[in-house]
Structure 1
Amino acid sequence: MESGKLLKAIIESAIDGIITIDNRGRVESLNPAALKLFGYKLEEVIGRNISVLMPEPDKSSHDGYLHRYQSTGEKRIIGKGREVRGLRKDGSTFPFRLAVSEVQYDDRVIYTGFIHDLSKEKEAEQRLKEYAAELEELVNERTKSLKKMLHALSEAKEEVSLSLLKEKELNQMKSRFVSMASHEFRTPLSSIQLSSVLIEKYAEPFDNPHIKKHVSKIKNAVGNLTTILNDFLSLERLEAGKVEPAFTPFDIVKLSEEVTEEMQMIAKEDQNIIYQHTGIESMVNLDQNLLRNCMINLISNATKYSGEHTFIEFNTEVTDTQCIVTIRDNGIGIPESDQKNLFQAFFRAHNTGNIPGTGLGLNIVQRYAGLMGGELHFESKINEGAIFTLSFKR
């Protein structure tokens, strides 16, 4: 008796709907959750064929389905079940997951259906798909706009190289562009990046590869655009004489470990950045922000121009007379014919192909090093990687 009361209490308080029918498909019972889902009162459906709760074509074919179930012994898996649609009293339909169980009860067979409403899950999934599509379209529009501006800037550079007057015009154009890009693109890019992260988080329960693919494309596009903006802003500040080093003592090992951790997060698959410090002394007196920018730029190049499953060696050394920073990769290398122009603004080696970049990074690193009284050197052979070395006097 007590177990019967307990079972009845469990069924009536269940969140999912539970329906039982006899071997002719007539409804025998519905729990409160099922009545709420379909919008009926108990007396309105008791004794009626279960097909009243089904939209077409399931409604017309249900008796045949029940006959096949009984004659062939076909079984439905309890648990995950299958997705079907239900018909409410008001004529609307909704998706739910159905699991069917055959039960022997009082010398007869009844069928119990367990119903889990999927309406909210389907609505959330659709909203995520629409949001991802909107974000991708927005990024594409911003990307096209920025590419047009960059293309216009490149064309202007070639024209103004013919005279000092046109050189001045180019600088003015670059200043306007950088100012516009910084204000007009940084805020929406940050919003897009944050939204893509949230979409990725909220979409995890659905395990939808299409959402993951498009969110990844959005994040990569935003990352590329942010790098372009940072390079142009740094160049503009350098050319305008707005960059003045602030020398302060700091621990180069701590800085390098932070940079390594940060860059490892955005490295390619199975790329490993190996950091090592040589020497007992670790305190240096340089501009920490400028040196950090130099490290990030050089390591970013190393990961960009190296393949997956590779190592990037990042070393620092502090002696009595020098502070040395070395980044070594085994990537595509720099052709000998291009090496003499490597530190020129906007120059890129001819073997970079479709690898994204502005051609400004090394120019910026060299100028930052010079502001701190240091030098930038490199060694490279085609398809054998490159070694970049920053050296500063103590």
Structure 2
Amino acid sequence: MNLTSSGPAALKSFGGLDDLHALIDTVPDAMIVIDTTGQILSFSNGAERMFGYAETELIGENVSVLMPSPDRERHDSYLEHYIETSERRIIGIGRVTTARARDGATFPIDLSVGEVNLNERKAFVGFIRDLTDSKETEQQLHSLQADLAHVSRISSMGMMATSIAHELNQPLTAITNYTEAARDLLDEPNEESIAHVREALNECAAEAIRAGQIVQRLRSFISRGETTREIVSLARVVKEATALALINGDARDVDFEVMLDDADDRVLADPVQIQQVLVNLIRNALEAMDESTVKKLVISSHNNDDNMLTVTISDSGPGLDQHVAEHLFHPFISTKASGMGLGLSICNTIINAHNGKIWAEPSPLGGTDFHFTLISAKGDTNNG
């Protein structure tokens, strides 16, 4: 992760960068320096404020202590892979991800990692920005949020189809009635009937314009067009969606864990649409646990041996009311007193469009497990 520090023997033996530490500590963001084994060599003042650790507590410790699962368990293998192959997955490539503070809280960060040589020894420098309350969060995730908003509009189409059909049916039915009335009036034309025919035709024109306006609203609604599916890393989609869902800091007191199946990470999906599903489900879980004494949220995955992969979001909230659970994915059915009942319906529309299914059931954690399936794309590498 971050940059160097002075003082500690580990850093002095690495090149004696005491003079640089004072400069590093003027940077408000976190900067951490690690060696090729993942040991922390330097931990700036900004990092101390962000993570809640003192530098003296972490010098010589593995940097994975600052990561939530599954990155905590995988970090050393990521580092070894880079050293052996020079294949860049994070190093030199900025990304939005999540970090873990001393109190166990998980929060979204913008991480950039660079490689440096200190006295002919390789080290890695991480620059970390906490996105929780940052004004720059809007800019950092603007593109993703815009895409998610568009996906929400696109995905709502299935839910809105009945309503749109009803809207169009009204002017079309009126046009039919008016034209049939005009036809009947022309059977015995006279001055009065001709006046009624003109009136009926005027009404036909008005209803035709109304139908056109409905279609125009529909076209505006989906003006950016459909998105396409591709082979993507589920871990990366989950990581970015999690960062977005945690932006407001609602998970500060939540025990959050990600346990994804390493052996089956590739799925055939529209990443933005699946992020929309994950953001909805994570936000719902956090809100459900708002009054809970124990707050635990787990995202996991497993292969079903039918070329489908199941993703599960589990929470320790109060669970679902049975009546609501029976109609959970229908439009306008909400688990929240002030909810519109659109979020889960949108999730259902997205997952159905991916040839998957979504359902909910009681969770071993005490709350609710939301499951959805995606088509597995085993065999592709490139873990991003």
Alignment TM class, shorter chain as reference: 0.3 to 0.5
Question: Normalised by the size of structure 1, how large is the TM-score?
Answer: 0.37
Q: Which has the higher contact order (CA 8 A, sep 6+)?
A: 2
Question: Normalised by the size of structure 2, how large is the TM-score?
Answer: 0.38
Structure with max Cα Rg: 1
